[in-house]
Amino acid sequence: MPSSSHTNLPLAALRTFVAIHEAGGFTSAAESLGLTQPNVSQQVKRLEKILDQPLFVRGQRQPELTIAGETLLENARRIVRLNDQAVSRIMRSPVAGSLRLGLPHEFTTSILPELVGDFSQAHSGVAIEVHCELSKTLLANIRDYDVVIALHDEPEGSGSGIRLRKERLSWVGDMGYRLPAEEVEPIDVIVAPDPCIYRDTLTRTLSGASRAFTTRLTSTSYSAVCAAVSTGMGITVLARSVVPENLRVLDEAQLPPLPDVDLRLHHESANASEATDSFVRFVRERLTA
């Protein structure tokens, strides 16, 4: 048997493993990677066979990482990112120019480094100006940007823009959060001001389930919302892929189910610059389901 120090983990399987965690499920990961669900399952089984460890807890409705899975996750992210950076640095583009990008606040620590950082390494002649706002604010001022990436809460198949992937919404609280023992007791919530998809979804979902709630803090800042939640002041709603490590996804069995939303890209293709067209292609290759 070869030494464990010489065991090679397949990059495609690691990318799939990371996608399952970030997308919140095997089906969503398959959609984001353009694979079939059986193929995604095979990739995970391949990793588990190589490592001789289960990576996900079996029998769970939502994929939950085992201790081995938790250990692998950060290393897998780093390996995938290093691979993509190496390819980007070697395959540099002669494209030059500038573009203005509108992006929701909460994605600055997730997709922003992956997209803008890696794109910039491959297209060093392109200057990127990033503006962060709430999704609905970006969409209301879409002509101010060359490219807008934003969440949409319209029914699937409707609405404008290029659909990149589905984002699963989740109830989020601090590590020790417990719901009120009595259902008649209001739930404390942390939200952004109108217009905000998370706020609209939270209030509509709790109201539809006849659950009373009290708004404890309102802020346009993703960091402020997460900081307030981390103190136990209340819970909020976020896309699963942007939940920070110091917060946790709450058990949906104790709260009303939340809908999925779309992450979509907008740009004016007719008058787009070469820099904008290159960035749009890059984003679609990285994020399109």
| Residues 227 and 271 reside in one and the same domain | no
| Residues 124 and 173 reside in one and the same domain | no
| Residues 173 and 155 reside in one and the same domain | no
| Residues 121 and 72 reside in one and the same domain | no
| Residues 99 and 161 reside in one and the same domain | yes
Cα–Cα dist 261/156, whole Å: 8
Judged against a pLDDT cut of 80, whether residue 215 lies above it is answered with yes
| Residues 185 and 124 reside in one and the same domain | no
pLDDT at residue number 89: 67
The CATH code of the domain that includes 280 is 3.40.190.10
| Residues 131 and 210 reside in one and the same domain | no
From 88, 106, 126, the end of a domain falls on 88
Q: Calculate helix-pair angle for 37-51, 11-23, nearest 10 degrees.
A: 120
Helix/strand/coil for 85:
helix
How many domains are contained in the chain? Answer: 3
Q: Which residue has the higher pLDDT, 114 or 8?
A: 8
| Residues 62 and 99 reside in one and the same domain | no
Q: Under the phi-then-psi rule, with left for phi > 0, alpha for psi from -120 to 50, and beta for the rest, what region is 249?
A: beta
Q: Which residue has the higher pLDDT, 202 or 157?
A: 202
pLDDT tens digit sequence for 140-192 = 999 999 999 999 987 655 568 888 888 999 999 999 888 887 778 899 999 99
pLDDT at residue number 159: 64
- For residue 283, what are the domain limits? 95-165+262-287
From 88, 122, 146, the end of a domain falls on 88
Split at pLDDT 50, 70, 90, the class of 63 is: confident
**For 54-83, what is the mean pLDDT?**
87
Q: pTM for the full model?
A: 0.67
**Residue 96: count of CB within 10 angstroms of its CB:** 13
pLDDT tens digit sequence for 101-155 = 999 999 988 888 878 877 887 777 889 999 999 999 999 999 999 999 999 987 6
pLDDT tens digit sequence for 242-286 = 999 899 999 777 899 999 999 999 998 888 888 888 888 888 877
pLDDT at residue number 88: 67
Name the token pair of 172: 């989020």
